[in-house]
Amino acid sequence: MNYRILGKLALLPLMMSGTALLDAQDKQFELHGSTVREIQEAMDSGELTAERLTQLYLNRIEAYDKAGPRINSVITLNPRALEIARELDAERQESGPRSPLHGVPVVLKDLIDTADMPTSAGFLPMRESQPMHDATIVKRLHESGAIILAKVNMSDWFGVAAPGDQSTVLGRTVNPYNTDLTPGGSSGGTGAAVTAAFAQMGFGTETGVSIRNPTANNSLVGLAPTRGLIPRAGVVLTSFFQERLGPMARNVYDVAALTDAVAGFDAEDLLSTYSLGQMPDQPYTSYLRKDGLVGARIGVLRDLFRSGPDHEEGIALVEAAIAEMKEAGATIIDPVTTHIDMISLMPEMRSNYFEGIFSYDVYFRRLGPDAPIRSVDELIERSGALVKPNIRRAYAELDRLDHHAPYHARLKTQEMLKEALVKLMDAYQLDALVYPFKSRPPEPHLESYRDRDNPVSSVTGLPAILVPAGYTEAEMGPISIEFLGRPFSEPVLFRIAYGYEQQSRMREHPATVPPLDGESFQY
C-alpha cells in the first residue's frame, strides 16, 4: 500500500483557511530546522514556494559543496529542478498539494535509477550510464510531488577508489561536522548532503550498515526498514535478501513522511510481498506524538554494548539518552540479553558476498542494449583491475547457490538470531530494544575502525531507527542510539523515536555550513 492518497488527507487541516492561517502569522521558518509539515504550512501561507525552497537549497550547494568547506557530495544536479518546482507551484494554486512532499527537494544515493539523470553507482566506467526507467521509489516520489534535486556520492559499488575517497567518480566527500572525518559508507553522500542542508531529505541504501552508518556519522535520523517494506526495483543491489532502501532526514517527522510516500508492495520486487497485510491503515506520520515515550517498554540490549577506552565517551552519551527516556515516561528494562555473543557472530552472518554477482546481473540487464556495462561478464572484462578484488573472486568462485553450504549456513544463522530477538521482545513485552548503533565517533578519512557498528538489523531484516544522542567533545563526532523492533513495527518505532527526539533535542546544525541569507523568515 502507498500513502499518496492518505498523505493528501493528512494535509487537509493545513489547507483550511481561517483559523489555521491566523495561527500561522507569527511562525518562524528556518530552512535547516523545519519539517516537511512546517514547509507545507509556510507554502499554504503564501510566504514560501517550491521554486523559492529549491533555490535556497541550490544556493547552499553552490556555497558549500564545491566551495567553502568543499563537502563534495553532489555528482549530478537535476537541470530541470527549478522548472519542475514552478510547475508544482502552479499545480498547487490550481488543485492543491498532492501530498506532504509536494514541492520538497530530495537527494538520492547514485545507485537509484532516474530516467532523466545518469546512475553511476560511484563507478567511473558508469559515469554516464543512463537508465531507461525510474526506480520504483523514484516513480512514487514523482507521484507525491517531490523534486529529485540531485544524485549524490557513495562508496564505489564496483571499483577501488583512492585511499580515503568514496568513489572513483567524485572522490572524497567530507563530514560537515568535522571535515577531517568520514561521512560514512556507503550512503555517505546522502548523509553529508542532508546534514549540510543541500536538500530537505534523502535516500540511502544498505547491505550491512550503509543507511545507518552515515545517519550516525552525520547526526541524522534514518530508518532501516523491515525487509520488504520499501521496494528496491531499479536499484543496484548487492544482496537480494539484505539490501534495503531507507529514508534519511534531519528529523523523525520527515523520515516518517518519506516512508509514507514510498512503502508498500511492488510487483518488480517480490520481497515486498512480505509487506502485504502488514501495513498500517493510517500514515506513519499520524503515529508521532510528543509524549511518545510515555508507557513505552524499552529493553536495553547489553549484548551490543562494546567496552574499552575508545568507547567510553560514546557509551556515556547513550547511557544519558536511556536515562532521559526513563525520565520522559518510558519503562526501561535493563538489561535484557539473548545470551548470544552477537558482536563476535556478526562478521560471519552477512550473505552479500555470495549474492552480489547474481544481483548485479539482474540490474545490468535492466539497463538495455546501449548501457556501458550489460552483465557481470562485461564488468570484469572491460574494467579489469579497477573492479574490487572480492567481486572478481566471487565471479571466479560462484556459479550457483543451490547447494552452497556456507551460504545456506549464514541464512540459517540470520533466521536464528531474528527469532531470538523477537522472542526476547515477546518475553519482556517490549515495544523496542535500544543500544548504541556504534559508540565511536566517525573515523578520519584514512582510518578504518573494525569495532564500530552493529549490523544486527540488516542480517535479521528487523526494522531499526537511529536518532542523535550527542557529540564527542574532541572531534565533534556524532553518536546515535538505535531502536530495534519486530517486523513491520515502524509505527511503534516512529512513535518512540519522535518522543525521544522531542525530549532530547540533541541535533545541532554543523558550523562549517552556516545558514545563508533568506533561509529564515517569519510569516
Q: Out of 99, 210, 219, 458, pick the active-site residue.
A: 210
Q: Fill in the DSSP letter of residue 515.
A: P
Adjacency order of strands within the sheet including 478-484 = 74-77, 147-152, 105-109, 201-206, 244-249, 221-224, 464-471, 478-484, 432-436, 297-301, 331-336
Q: Out of 34, 73, 99, 109, pick the active-site residue.
A: 109
Over its length of 523 residues, how does the chain's per-residue pLDDT go in tens digits? 443 334 444 444 444 344 444 454 589 999 999 999 999 999 999 999 999 999 999 999 999 999 999 999 999 999 999 999 999 999 999 999 999 999 999 999 999 999 999 999 999 999 999 999 999 999 999 999 999 999 999 999 999 999 999 999 999 999 999 999 999 999 999 999 999 999 999 999 999 999 999 999 999 999 999 999 999 999 999 999 999 999 999 999 999 999 999 999 999 999 999 999 999 999 999 999 999 999 999 999 999 999 999 999 999 999 999 999 999 999 999 999 999 999 998 888 899 999 999 999 999 999 999 999 999 999 999 999 999 999 999 999 999 999 999 999 999 999 999 999 999 999 999 999 999 999 999 999 999 887 778 999 999 999 999 999 999 998 889 999 999 999 999 999 999 999 999 999 999 999 999 999 999 999 9
- Cα separations in angstroms, 466 against 148, 247, 293, 457: 24, 11, 15, 11
Tell me, what amino acid is at 120? S
Q: What angle do CA 389, 394, 395 make, to 5 degrees?
A: 95
Q: Out of 144, 186, 480, 504, pick the active-site residue.
A: 186
User: Mind listing the domains of the chain with CATH numbers?
Assistant: 4-507 (3.90.1300.10)
Look-up: residue for cell 488543485? 95
pTM for this entry: 0.95
Mapped onto helix, strand or coil, the DSSP state of residue 147 is: strand
Rounded to whole angstroms, the Cα distance separating 105 from 118 reads 18
C-alpha cell at 30: 528556518
186 classed as catalytic: yes
210 classed as catalytic: yes
- Cβ atoms within 10 Å of 17's Cβ, excluding its own: 8
C-alpha cell at 110: 547514485
Going by C-alpha positions, the residue among 90, 86, 104 that lies closest to residue 37 is 104
In 368-388, which ranges are continuous DSSP H helix?
A: 376-383
Q: What angle do CA 402, 408, 409 make, to 5 degrees?
A: 155
What is the DSSP annotation of 312-326?
A: HHHHHHHHHHHHHHH
Contact 483, 464 (CB under 8 A): yes
Going by C-alpha positions, the residue among 16, 59, 8, 58 that lies closest to residue 41 is 16
Look-up: residue for cell 547491505? 207
Classify residue 320 as left (phi > 0), alpha (psi -120 to 50) or beta: alpha
- Cα separations in angstroms, 230 against 37, 178, 332, 486: 22, 32, 30, 16
120 classed as catalytic: no
Contact 410, 351 (CB under 8 A): yes
